[in-house]
Every structure is written in structure tokens, then in C-alpha cells.
Structure 1
């Protein structure tokens, strides 16, 4: 991102604020709770890694709007799930995009299109510090990319840029959730610093009584001499004093240290803001199994990230005709799909074909025409045929099978004999 801008950038382009927000220029008033420096906090690192891994590990599928089936063999499937560009696989592309979106509020990828077909050919990832957004005209955004060690700036319209933002109040710029955690992260860091000062203080937690009345200079000189005399001593070494002074160590209130060490408030707030299960950050979780917690995370929390991602991909990677035909979805069926029992019930109830049940449970369909046929049992009858069915049952003397109702067996073709 260039540091110097021409005067014709427009009044709406607050490029200095963008430099501060993206971490290119230091902002001391904000501390270290956003940007890359926020990863120094272990809770933030764990939460961001957990979200980014889940966003990146699931494949992104193209779904046919009419049939609901996955469109196979599309080139976009290769870009999003296999190889994004010549230097980056798709997993690390999605991982890096997610990390930057959480830490800075925005992440950017330039779409390199095929000059002949105008279809996406490569997805070039750029850091927020390498990207400038000209928002002087909100309905015609301009993105400027300046790669590292390059004097060349690439200018692209919004249609050629994938711009992830999980939270936005204007639809143009994103906002990092870490901005809401300033006090919580500060409280956690203060507790850690208190513990560090305690363990580093050593002999300073004590009282040195001297006989007689000492001036301020004399007290200072006596303390310095005492500390100098004890330099180099290890833990447990004896402390030597003469008869003119009395050394008394201060008693430490271990309850305060225990409170600092066991305070889970900040950790729970970080988990809440980033939509991460608290147990992932070593906070006690409800009485649920790990499988239940993981399914709830995928179904309830990850859509907060998946919905803006798939909406942006659909807007930028599809043309207008394709948007009417297809949509993007994150395929998480291997973990949240139908169980074996649910799939079996859906097939027996005529809701799904066997192949559809395999797909909905995260399995590969079978190349067998019979697996694409709806199945049913012979123990049901249509409601509007119920009375006729009961009359036929009585005429047959209680025989339940009749080929007119779709529940006959091979031996039911003959009509009942009459006397």
C-alpha cells in the first residue's frame, strides 16, 4: 500500500485511517489487540486458528438451483478446493483469507480472468497492507494492489476482487471483532503482568527495619546497599543483616494470585466474540459430548463466517446467468449429514432415493439406475382410497393385499372365490 497519495483521491478516502487499521502504521492508542500482534495472545491465536481451519477444510460446492445437486467438473471447484494460484493451494488461501479478515476486518483476492473466456483462472491473494480501497464512489469501488518489492500498482474494479468481510456497517469496509475485546484482552494481559512481576520481584517483597531515624536519602542509600549486597544470590540463599537492621519478608496473599490465574472471564469473552466453543479455549463447557458440541459449532456458529463468504463468491465468480442457475454452499455433510438411521428412514419413507440418501450422508453415490428410484413398502394406502380399500378387505374376508391399491403380492392376481 503506498504511503503517499495524490490530491485527487477524493474526500471520502481516509487512507491514513486505513493504514492505521491495517497495521501498516502503528496506532499506540489501540494497543496490541488487533492485527498480527494480536496473535501474541494465546487465546486469540487458538480461536483464530480454530475458525480459519474450519473455514478452510470444508469443500465449497456449486449447487444447481433446480435440482439441488452438486455441479461436477466446474473449473471453479478446482480453484476453490484444490489450487488457488501458482504459489498457493486452496486450503492455505482460504486459511489466510480468514485470518486476515478476523484480525483486520478485511481480506482481498484479485481474480485473474482468462482473456478469451473472461472466466476466473487464478485467485491472487494480497495482504491488507498491500491493498488500497478507493471508496470515493461507493457504487464504483476501485482496488489498488501493490505487491511487495514492486513499484507497479495493479488497479481493478470491484467485480475482479474477492473482498471478505464478516462484519460491516457500511457494506464497503469490514470491522474486526477484536476491536470489541480491547478491555478483555487488556485485563488478561494485566493479570499476566502481575504474575510476572511477582515472580521476578524476588527480595523486593520485604521490609527492612533500621534502628534510629533515617532521612529520605539515608533510606534510599540503605535499600540500594542492601540490594547490592544480595546480588547474585539464588533462591533460598541466606540473607545477612547486622544488628542495626531487621529483615522481614512480606506475606503474599495467594488468594489474589489464584484469582488472577483462574480468571476465565477474558477467555470466555474472546470465545464469544469469535463464535468459538468455550471448551476449545479450556473453559468448562455444558454437559454435552464433543460430537454434539462440534455439530452445534458447525451448524450454529460457522454460518456467521460461511454466509458472507459464499455470498461474495457467488457475486464475484458467477455472471448474472450463472447466479440464476447455481449457488455456492459449504459442503459439511461428512460431519453434519444424515446418520445411517435417518438416511434409512428417509429412503423407506419415500423422501429420498438411495443415492440421494448417500449424498446427504456425505457418501459417494452408486452408479446403479435402481439407486435413483424412490422406494416404498407394501403396507400403505392413499387416504382417498381408504374406504374402498376397507370394502375390498371385507369382500376378501380380511385379505389385506389387492393389486389395485399397490400392495398386492405375486399371488394376489386371482379374484376371491365365491360360493
Structure 2
């Protein structure tokens, strides 16, 4: 009978404290995913990089293009409303897009149909609605319906063409593994860095003695401040570890792999979120340029086209356009830029003032002249000279 009582007590303790009776699925939301350092880093890098990029309004001319500083459509992006700046606008749209798959900003206009101000909307408060007649509207949580022309909509990867998918929702199972590994590490260190095991007793214990012994053992071993302290066992009791140590369970490798997986989801080079395992001084610069071309450019093109289509009036659409300035991100190191400018100047493709402008330097008188080397000639001139010599 004593063994039955002991067995019942053990089963009760096991089911109550040591073994979960069910496996709860971790709820990963857009907000809670930011607790993962890799998600936070990717979202921060993408949103802040787009936020720092200048965007200009240009007008097409017969000789090329010219900046439009005083145009209302240029000012609306520099001061979207009374409390934010261009950086804030881009930052908000990118954070919304990288977490929820969609970024929204409502356009308020004046009587001349010029954009007057922009109002930010949380992605959960806006729902795109496509009608049977292929017209797109936006339904706000207040019940108001807006036409597509009155809403800036930055969408991510989409399978229906009018609403982006949330990377967090699509990859929720993958992110759950990252959270599980993080919680596992937290539990491991909270338990003093000691893995679970069994205590072997040479005989049986009464339930009262078992409960007392269990309470004493847990009090001795649980907690970071009690890590690596020796256990005091009595009555011939011995301890045997039965769990796999973290290094054997590839705990560290799992966390590294998940960081790389999250970087892959967002298209961010791993070295930009502090994963330098496969990066060298020779390939980091090329990875940075690939980041601009293959990761940032899709977002920038979407923003440019959305601004062109919805901030400009129909009578301005062909004449004016928005364009992000990417020279600062793509120009490379000083030596590479110097060789590029030198070659462009030698063939007359760039003037000194154009080079100085790209380097944020003031222009000077006479710097707008174009020069070519005197010892260069066209192929036609070379053929004509050779032909005239033969005729002589």
C-alpha cells in the first residue's frame, strides 16, 4: 500500500509541476515578433534606410530634368502633416509593410486637388476591397469607404494584387521555433543552468516525506543565483541527469540558423544583423550593393509609383515624377568613386560640378564645362584620315 501511495504522489507531482499536459502553440503576432532580435534588426534596417534616402520631385525638360523645390507635391513629402517629417512617413510605411504586409497613409486634398496632408493608419484599421467591376476601395474601421486615389498603399508580397501578405503571419511556424529556442534558453538559465534529471532513493518514501524532500530539492536548485551549488542529498539518494545538454541538442546552432532564416525572409544580408560568420572584408561591400538592388529597390519602386500615381494630378503625371536618390548607397568606397568620376570626366560624360554635386560639395564658376582628351577621335575620322593618306 505504501508503494501505491508513493506512486500516486509521484504521478500527481509529475503531472502538476514537471510535465506539461499539453503543448501550447506560441502565439506570434506582428507586435510580439519584435521581441526576436533578428526581426527587430531587419525591420529597423529596412525602415530606417528607406527613411534616410532623399526623394525629389523632377520635371522632364528637353535637355533632361530639373528639380522642383517649390512644387506642392514636393512639400507634401517633406512635411506630411503637422507632427512628422519625410523620415517619419517613410519609416511608418516601411514598418507597417515589413510587419503587416501593408502600409497606409490617407491623402487629404485642397480645392485644386493638391495633396494637403497625409494621415497615417494602422494596417489593422484598413481593409482593401476589390469590387466585381475591378474598382479598388479602402474600408476604414470607422466604416468610411475611400477611393483608391485617396490612400497611399505600400504593399508587400501579394497573391491577389491588391493586399500584401504579412511576413510574420506567413512564417509564424518558423518564428515560433525562434521563440521556443529563446524561451528554452531562458528556462535553462533560470533553473541555474542545471538540466532535469532523476533522484534515486534506495527505498520507498511516505507521501509527507516525499513532499518535503521535493520542496527542499527545488529550493536548493532553482534560480540563477543558485547555479552550480552542490545539492545536499540524504538517506543514500543519488542524482542522475537524463536530459541532453544544450550543446548536444544544437541549441546555439539552432539560434544561429533561425537568425539566418529571418534575414532570408526579409532579404537582408546576414552581416547587417550581426551575423558575420560567412562575411569577409572583400565581400561585404558587394553584399551591401546587393542589399540596395535586390532588397531595397522593390520597396523604393513601389513608393515612387504610388506617389506618382496618387500625389500628382492627371495633367502632371507625364511631366513630373518622384525619384529616390541612391548615390549615397551605391557609390562605393573613395578609391572606386575616384576612378569612376575620373573616367566619366575624361570622356565628357560628367562635368566637375556634377561630380562635386554627387559628393555634396559646392559648385564653382567654370565647373559646368565638359572636356575630352585631345588624342581621342571617332572611328569615322580615323577611317577618313587613313583613306586620304592612301589617295595621296
Give the TM-score normalised by the residue count of structure 2: 0.79
Q: How does 1:209-220 map to 2 (within 5 A)?
A: 209-212=200-203
| Corresponding position of 1:31 | 27
Question: CA, structure 1 residues 387+83, in 2 after alignment: closer, same or farther (shift >3 Å)?
Answer: closer
* 2:9 corresponds to: none
Equivalence map 1:63-102=2 (5 Å): 63-65=58-60, 67-73=63-69, 74-80=71-77, 82-102=78-98
Provide the C-alpha distance between the structure 2 equivalents of 1:236 and 1:175, rounded to a whole number of angstroms.
48
- Deviation digits for residues 45-69 of structure 1 (CA, Å, limit 9, x no counterpart): 1110010011111011223445443
- Which of 258, 267, 280 matches 2:272? 280
Alpha-carbon deviations, 1:243-290, whole Å to 9, x = none? x44122427644636721233221111111101110122322333354
Q: Conserved in 2, the CA contact under 8 Å of 1:356 and 1:365?
A: no
Q: Compared with structure 1, are the counterparts of its residues 138 and 179 closer, same or farther at alpha carbon in structure 2 (3 Å cutoff)? A: farther
> Which consecutive unaligned segments of at least 5 residues does structure 2 have?
1-23, 221-225
CA distance in structure 2 between the aligned counterparts of 1:325 and 1:39, rounded to whole angstroms: 42
| Among candidates 206, 214, 231, match of residue 227 of structure 1 | 214
Distance 1:383-1:206 versus aligned 2 partners, 3 A rule = closer
Query: Of 157, 161, 168, which aligns to 2:158?
Result: 168
Matched, 1:60 2:60: no
* TM-score of the superposed pair, with normalisation by structure 1: 0.74
Structure 1 segments (4+ residues) deviating >6 Å: 391-395
Asked if the contact 2:55/2:324 (under 8 Å) is kept, the reply is yes
With over 3 angstroms needed to count, the CA separation of the structure-2 counterparts of 1:138 and 1:268, relative to structure 1, is farther
Measured against aligned partners, the alpha-carbon deviations of 1:176-228 in whole angstroms (never above 9, x if no partner) come to 223342232122222223223333345773432223357xxx5x665432122
Map 1:147-296 to 2 at 5 A: 154-201=144-191, 205-212=196-203, 222-230=209-217, 232-233=219-220, 234-235=226-227, 237-242=229-234, 244-250=235-241, 253-254=244-245, 256=247, 259-263=250-254, 264-283=256-275, 284-287=277-280, 288=282, 290-296=284-290
Give the number of the structure whose alpha-carbon radius of gyration is greater.
1
Corresponding residue of 1:135: 130
Unaligned runs of 5+ in 1: 1-27, 147-151, 396-419
Match of residue 20 from structure 2: none
SS of the equivalent of 1:301 reads helix
> SS of the counterpart of 2:200?
strand
The 2-side partners of 1:121 and 1:327 are apart by 18
Pair 285,231 (structure 1): closer, same or farther in 2 beyond 3 Å: closer
User: How has the CA–CA distance of structure 1 residues 232 and 175 changed in structure 2, closer, same or farther, with 3 Å as cutoff?
Assistant: same
Between 1:104-113 and 1:134-143, the stretch displaced more is 134-143
CA displacement, residues 80-137 of structure 1 (integer Å, 9 cap, x when unaligned): 2x3210122221121111111111111111111122x211121111112332434344
Name the counterpart of 1:417: none
The answer as to whether partners of 1:63 and 1:71 remain within 8 angstroms in 2 is: yes
